[in-house]
Amino acid sequence: MDMREIRIKAREKLKGVCRVCANCDGRVCAGEVPGMGGTGSGAAFMENVRAFRAVKLNLRALHSSPVPDTGTELWGHSLSLPVMAAPLAGAAVNMGGALSEKELADGLHAGSRAAGTIAWSGDAFVPGIFEAGLAAVAAQGGCGIVTVKPHGVEESIRRIRMAEDAGAVAAAVDVDAAAFRPPAPGLSVGAGNPADLEKIVRSTKLPVILKGIMTPDEAVAAAAAGVSGIVVSNHGGRALEACPATAEVLPAVAAAVRGRMKIFVDGGLRTGADVLKALAMGADAALIGRPLVPPVVGGGAEGVALYFKKLASELCAAMILTGTGAVRAVSPRILYGSA
Ligand SMILES: Cc1cc2nc3c(=O)[nH]c(=O)nc-3n(C[C@H](O)[C@H](O)[C@H](O)COP(=O)(O)O)c2cc1C
């Protein structure tokens, strides 16, 4: 199977829920949440894509270097490239039942691992979804990051313990999903105060990551709570329509906590060059969301591995053309306008 065949098959199976656009930029699916789009007018999703595309790289090819090293590591776990599959859950509500939750989770996790990287599992405020992701991580011998929704301290700790038992590399809480929880009398809103976060961090031996940090002050608060990483993310523009693009806030957020934790970013990255831009702006690695949906729907694990292979070759080309020898040695100097 090649990517063209995979995309044709995905388009048939998705029946219009995702149009499998050549440029996944949020225009035709604007407002389709649940679904594959961005919330409201779709502006935050579209802005994410636009902002990464707007960053340019200095082309410098006057060198004779060995093949670039795209590898990196996370808490002792080697990755073939600084990119992972973002949490993507809700096959029934978001993908029109084009595949089962198990097929979605298994395909993302097995395909990512086949490509030498890992996937993050997802969660929801309904039963079944967290469990499918957790099982997929366990099936890969723990090669994956388990994401839990902000369920409150006790339930978050309970789910993170299950991630530990599955042997996961780390556990994440997607704090930007705070408004997705059905409000109920007596339940606090928000993703938890710094004391709650500290309790969660102290409850586990796993590195804890907060996904959905968009400001330097919250990055500093996350560091103070002892987290091991953050994801600069606005949930792919699915949570708050009126928020900036992740590429716009990444440099300042990264500068606030660099060296104290791992910094990840997602939202609108579409090419290997976009990944290199993210690294030059201060990220240790990037997550890819929606562009993995057609590959997993049309080609399962094989489609996902093929997608990462293409992305890795784009990243390698961008590294050659910016004189970047290794992911560990990306310089901000490669950003146009910086030097
Ligand atoms: C269909 C769908 C389901 C998602 N499910 C989750 C989830 O369960 N947990 C989570 O933290 N983020 C979830 N996200 C957000 C992604 O992990 C990621 O932040 C976002 O898609 C990145 O932007 P991109 O799609 O432009 O690459 C979901 C996104 C989509 C499109």
CA of 88 to the centre of ligand 1 (A): 5
Query: Does residue 85's CB lie within 6 angstroms of at least one atom of ligand 1?
Result: no
Helix axes 272-280, 246-257, angle to 10 degrees: 40
CA angle 203, 212, 170 (to 5 degrees): 40
C-alpha 261/C-alpha 314 separation (Å) is 27
Which CATH number is 72-181+190-334 given? 3.20.20.70
CB 91 within 8 A of CB 98: yes
Model pLDDT, residue 191? 82
Dihedral angle at the C-alpha atoms of 170, 68, 113, 117, nearest 10 degrees? 20
Model pLDDT, residue 215? 98
Token pair recorded at residue 133: 């992701």
Model pLDDT, residue 184? 76
Model pLDDT, residue 190? 82
CB-based contacts of 155: which residues, under 8 Å, 6+ apart? none
Most informative mutation of 14, 25, 88 for ligand 1 (most atoms within 8 A of CB): 88
Beta-bridge partner residues of 74 = 77
CB 314 within 8 A of CB 271: yes
Token pair recorded at residue 146: 């388990």
Closest among 281, 266, 262 to 333, alpha carbons compared: 281
Most informative mutation of 21, 29, 290 for ligand 1 (most atoms within 8 A of CB): 290
Model pLDDT, residue 339? 63
Q: What is the mean pLDDT of each run of 10 residues along the chain (339 residues)?
A: 97 98 98 98 98 98 95 97 98 98 98 98 95 98 97 95 98 94 77 91 98 98 97 98 98 98 98 98 98 98 98 98 97 92
Nearest CA to ligand 1 atom 8: 122
